[in-house]
Amino acid sequence: LWSSSYYLGSLGNMSKDVVERYINDHKYNAYKK
């Protein structure tokens, strides 16, 4: 989970909002289980 989030953030061509949304979506899905 976090490794993939770090990878997306390190690409550099994604905005901070997109990365945060991606991470928040995964957090939400994790809590939903």
The predicted structure's pLDDT at residue 13: 59
The predicted structure's pLDDT at residue 22: 83
Query: Range of 28's domain?
Result: 2-32
The predicted structure's pLDDT at residue 9: 59
The predicted structure's pLDDT at residue 3: 66
For the chain, the domain total comes to 1
The predicted structure's pLDDT at residue 26: 80
Q: Which residues contact 14 (CB under 8 A, 6 or more apart)?
A: 8
Span 1-33, pLDDT tens digits: 556 666 665 666 566 777 788 888 888 777 776
